[in-house]
Structure 1
Amino acid sequence: MAAILEVDQLQKTYADSNFGLKDISFAIPYGSIVGFIGENGAGKSTTMGSILGTLHKDSGTIRIFGKEMDAKDVHIKEDIGAVFDTVKLPGGLTVKKLERVFQQLYSNWNKETYSNLIQLFSLPKDKKISGFSRGMSMKLSVAVALSHEAKLLILDEATAGLDPGGREDMLKVLREFVKGQERSILLSSHITSDIEQIADRLIFIKSGEILLQETKEEILNHYGIVQCDPVEYQNIPSEIRLATRGNEVFFDVLVSDREKLPSSLQSKRFSIDDVTLLLMRGERV
């Protein structure tokens, strides 16, 4: 399947920090939702900013819709909807007045889509944005991103601050967005249960380096997490060991193929959250 976004050997460093992106490479197929998973400071926002051109990359190639990304290309930017947790909308405006601003900015602004999303998200039209909660502001930001006919959404913590009902509405909207197989989403979230619900591919990043990228189906159907002692650990084929977490006596092991485990070991039931903890807090093998 063709990719809507291709990132190849992306590197980014900071003069006043030891942190940096280390050869980040991945592709997002059309019609997919890709979950971008990592702890604070892992490199998710830096990667997203580099893709959008709001941060200057040191090296690497970024292609969107088959073309190398140029932050000055207005047409490419109109086809991308971006929501960052740190971006603040003008507090002195109302939902109605904000629409007038974005109607001038985007040639493909869809008034009907915006109105429907404002209604779905139960946002007050005449209240100043400065009085919005964090969750309300995030809903409004997503409504804007979805209302200018974007083909690629880049969402950083889009479900942050939402109650369960609000998160359900948000996830429903995102699923609808990719239904036609012509659009895609790169979604980061600390709420891995949200990503597990809607993502079809997962990228795990730690300290500026991708640890694992795989389809969600492959991870849930073929990967495994086993609890074992050091002797049992040695019986696990080295080629399927990915990460370990625990102490010298007893620990968990993430494996890439549970069918290759010794008959004495069985994978326990696990979630994407369990995989995330092992990759982020455990040791790579």
Structure 2
Amino acid sequence: MTRIISSLSEISDSHDALFCDLWGCLHNGVEAFPGAVAALQAFRAKGGKVVLLTNAPRPSKFVMESLDKLGCPRDAYDLVVSSGDAAQDAMFAGAVGKKVWHLGPSKDDGFFTEVPEEWQGQAEITRVDFDDAEGIVCTGPFDEVNEVPEDYRPKFLLAKMRELPMLCANPDIVVDLGDKRIYCAGALAALYEEMGGEAMYFGKPHPPIYDLARRKLSRLGGAEDARILAIGDGINTDVAGAAGEGMDCLFITGGLAHDQFGADPQNPNPELLRTWLEARQRDPLYSMGQLT
């Protein structure tokens, strides 16, 4: 049964590196959480490595710029590895063809314009209109604040008929932007699959993002999987991914599922938490309300 802790410092000596989620753990899309920032800084001060592992559909460069704006200092982490990084590799390798239709907001344009060094001079990906596309790259709804997946059913029906593969750059279903819940690319990809379309995923809980994170961490000295702690609030992404990779996991209950464990988000009710986890057949080694 999961052990409820009150501070990361209680278990930090057992781990050399953290794979820490962003949205719901380090920030809420509006501002960084001071307690979480301090916890990561303290872990690094003791010699630990912090990899921010996020399902954001943008390359890590843009994720870091967003963190700056949210008030998260760069001394709180060593690396950022995003679903966008892993999905970019697949796109430039031609996973969904050379001519792609981009389904997503303009803020994700960097997914196409920021070509990774290893693909410089050989990337031949062109964004085209839907009618000319060989595949779809989905980074989210065009209007993530107001649109829902069902808005795309007619377009997806046409895409399915043409057998267009979809590259999903963010497997998350929803995130909380302040106090508003919004849909992510994962919700659109799920609908497309439900309708009979083909979708490919590269972020948590799927292996490519973890493989990329390990490779980048190895440049800083690396860490054995048994000494890596995955931190996140997504039961089907962070917790499931950690289990699949054989890593310890710290489940943040005050994130996406904050209303399931009692009235105090910082102190989850043990019985409610146990019942909720059992229903989902998940058993993270540790749990806590908010990262501190």
* Alignment TM class, shorter chain as reference: 0.3 to 0.5
More helix as a share of residues: 2
More strand as a share of residues: 1
TM-score by length of 1: 0.35
